[in-house]
Amino acid sequence: MNKSIRNVGIMAHIDAGKTTATERILFYTGVNNRIGEVDDGAATMDWMEEEKERGITITAAATTCFWRDHRINIIDTPGHIDFTLEVGRSLRVLDGAVALFSAVEGVEPQSETVWRQADRYNVPRIAFVNKMDRPGADFFRCVEMMEEMLKANPLMLQIPVKNGDDFIGFVDVIKGETVIYDKDRLGVTYSVVNEIPDGLKERYNQAREVMLEKLSEIDDGLMESYLEGLCIDEDEIKSVIRKGTLEGKIIPVLCGSAFKNKGIQALLDALVDYLPSPADISPYKFWTSDGNEGFLKGTKDEPFSGLVFKIMNDPFVGHLSYIRIYSGSLNTGDSVLNSSKDKTERIGRVLRLHANKREEIRHVESGDICAVVGLKGVTTGDTLCQVGQDILYENIEVPQPVLSCAIAPKKKDDLKKMWLVFNRYTVEDPSLNVRLDSETGEVILSGMGELHLDIVMNRAKREHNLEMISSPPQVAYRETITKSSQAVGKYIKQSGGKGQYGHVVINITPTEGTGFIFENKIIGGAIPKEYISSVEAGIREALEKGVVLGYPVIDIKVELLDGSYHEVDSSELAFKLAGSIAVKEGIKKSNPILLEPVMKVDVNTPNEFLGSVVGDLSSRRGKIAEIGDRNGYKSITAYVPLEEMFGYTTNIRSITQGRGNHTMEFFHYAPVPQNIFENIIKDREKIQTEVLYG
């Protein structure tokens, strides 16, 4: 496997400077000839404005660039919490990450969210403290916040050098050198001096001492050299930093200003030196169709396997499937098996996206990332493998939509176009859902939040000239059961000619946070194997509409215990209907209840408004979990039902005189209190009365 590949993502809170940092990385790696021609700083900025207009970091799911003979695939990760799926699926396929923090705000609520996601996937990472040029920037406070709030073990590899408020360079803790950026070149060029500025000598000595102590805990050889007072060379220090980073024991921390082009070359060096190659991450675990585990070393000599982590519709080439290659190699024209759907696909064009151009390639090997044109039945999370192989990687978990609204085109003639466009968006983004409500005849769009739905509507207008009207957002409730029960489902039809016969006995049990589980416990062929999948399909279909208020049923386990069949009259349809009848009957007997989405809400407010903010959250049925301090503000964490959070952005600005802000993410589903449930029933009856009688 190629050790010179780095599959990395840049993860950050909104407005921490992720897009700017990505653009600067592309500047230094993708357009080297342009740097050679730069006569003054303005030309550099002109090129970046052009890059911004091209939208590379927005439209490219993975952009390839080169640094020090290493191929770097930068995988795009959005900043807003409504796009949690995007961050999750990116972390699923990348090998390392750069965690970006604003030197002014430090660790912000969503920094914590993406950090936890990276922890879940065991992604090694380095930290880059950005915006060092801004008034109020505090590198050392940001490092402290990483320790306190993220429970991380940061390792300072640089100390910022400032001239008043102006960030002019940094001290390299490993080399003992000072890097000073040339003022008139906007950071494109810099000079290196072997002296430490007088005011930073004590800080440097302290940082180097801490660095060597932390590295001694990781490597015994370095510990011996350190205790004996021997000189430890740069290569040995870097080797142990790499080891500690890959093991997740330390987080190397660098500083800079992406906007002013300062610190980017050092960040690229650290990315190559400390983040893993695909060879460092293997072996890769997979499952076979019968549930057995297996492992692949990830070499190019093994059978081909890969994971589709993103689908996009590109205006130039059409349907693009982004694939992380885990083993073997992929060639243009190959036939591959979509093992998630048991269908064979043919590989059309294979593309690699560079900083500012597409490159058509015929061959790609393990460890790399590519985009493929022409795959028809593929969705996010599907495993592709060599035909004849039995390889299935863990799917990418898709969060359930929590907010819905009814949509319609302004022009009736655009109805067909609307379905085509929005169905295409749901393929790109599985956390988005569009369906027809059979009772009302409305088209319902569901997503992860108000911003999520708003952006999709704006995309439809911008990309397809599709003007939409929509209803106010509605909460996407769920239903579940609270006790176990057994139920029988029989579908018998005798009306001349061939009849229909299906009979099943099931047991249903409430579970927690599992969605839907189906287990076949038939022994002795009471129901033939070919009908089992039909029973499951009937149950799944019935769970889409519960018995309380018609919302989907979640967190339920169904065991197929027994049944019977008829040699002539039994069919897949009969058993599908029998499964549907049984589960509906079982739910009615299992004390069904309504569930509502509860959100984790993080609020930052000046101290003088703390009481008002807490009171307001409590009035919204919120439960205050924690109150702390963050950058001179009060930080509140609360769990609040989504139903109570509509219009909160305007409200928090009003309460705090425009100085407060908040972030919100889905936390879990919880039972709806009886008084709220009764209000929902009354509202539903009122709407139905208005529909019937106007």
pLDDT digits (tens, 9 = 90+) for 636-682: 999 999 999 988 888 898 999 888 888 888 888 999 999 888 888 88
Range among 23-37, 110-124, 566-580 rated most confident: 566-580
With tokens 């919490």, the residue in question is: 81
Residue 677 has φ and ψ, to the nearest 5°, of -60, -45
> Is residue 572 within 8 Å of residue 581, measured between CB atoms?
no
Name the pLDDT band for 84 (thresholds 50, 70, 90): low
Q: Which residues contact 676 (CB under 8 A, 6 or more apart)?
A: 596, 621, 643
> Is residue 432 within 8 Å of residue 447, measured between CB atoms?
yes
Q: Helices 109-120 and 139-150, interaxial angle, to 10°?
A: 50
pLDDT at 21: 87
pLDDT at 46: 35
Least confident of 6-15, 286-295, 663-672: 6-15
How many other CB atoms sit within 10 Å of the CB of residue 485?
Answer: 16
In three-state secondary structure terms, 91 is: helix
pLDDT at 688: 58
Residue 479 has φ and ψ, to the nearest 5°, of -125, 155
Kindly report, residue by residue over 466-512, the tens digit of the pLDDT.
999 998 888 889 999 999 999 999 999 876 667 899 999 999 999 98
Bigger pLDDT: 120 vs 651: 651
The 8-class DSSP code of residue 216 comes to H
pLDDT at 554: 93
Name the pLDDT band for 87 (thresholds 50, 70, 90): low
pLDDT at 89: 65
Kindly report, residue by residue over 404-456, the tens digit of the pLDDT.
899 999 998 999 999 999 998 888 888 889 988 876 788 999 988 887 888 88
Name the pLDDT band for 689 (thresholds 50, 70, 90): low
Least confident of 53-67, 107-121, 626-640: 53-67
With tokens 């940061």, the residue in question is: 154
Name the pLDDT band for 33 (thresholds 50, 70, 90): very low
Kindly report, residue by residue over 518-545, the tens digit of the pLDDT.
999 988 889 998 899 999 999 999 999 9
What integer is the mean pLDDT of 46-63?
43
Mean pLDDT of the chain, nearest integer: 87
**Chain centroid offset of residue 200 CA:** 40
Kindly report, residue by residue over 207-224, the tens digit of the pLDDT.
999 999 999 999 999 999
The yes-or-no verdict on residue 625 having pLDDT over 80 is: yes
Kindly report, residue by residue over 308-332, the tens digit of the pLDDT.
988 887 777 778 899 999 999 999 9
Bigger pLDDT: 185 vs 258: 258
The 8-class DSSP code of residue 642 comes to G
DSSP H helices, 217-345, are 220-227, 234-246, 264-274, 278-281
What integer is the mean pLDDT of 293-303?
94
Q: What is the sign of the dihedral through the CA atoms of 624, 627, 631 and 632? A: positive
Which domains are present in the chain?
Answer: 5-280 (3.40.50.300), 284-386 (2.40.30.10), 403-467 (3.30.70.870), 482-591 (3.30.230.10), 596-675 (3.30.70.240)
Name the pLDDT band for 186 (thresholds 50, 70, 90): low
HEC per residue, 410-453: CCHHHHHHHHHHHHHHHHHCCCCEEEECCCCCCEEEEECCHHHH
pLDDT at 229: 87
The yes-or-no verdict on residue 77 having pLDDT over 70 is: no
The yes-or-no verdict on residue 516 having pLDDT over 70 is: yes
What whole-number distance in Å separates Cα of residue 418 and Cα of residue 470? 13
> Is residue 118 within 8 Å of residue 99, measured between CB atoms?
yes
What integer is the mean pLDDT of 371-377?
89
What integer is the mean pLDDT of 351-358?
75
Q: Where are the beta strands (DSSP E) in 278-437?
A: 284-287, 293-296, 305-314, 318-327, 329-331, 335-338, 343-346, 350-353, 358-361, 363-365, 369-373, 383-386, 403-409, 433-436
The yes-or-no verdict on residue 366 having pLDDT over 50 is: yes
Name the pLDDT band for 61 (thresholds 50, 70, 90): low
Least confident of 176-180, 370-374, 614-618: 370-374
What whole-number distance in Å separates Cα of residue 529 and Cα of residue 520? 10
What integer is the mean pLDDT of 332-357?
89
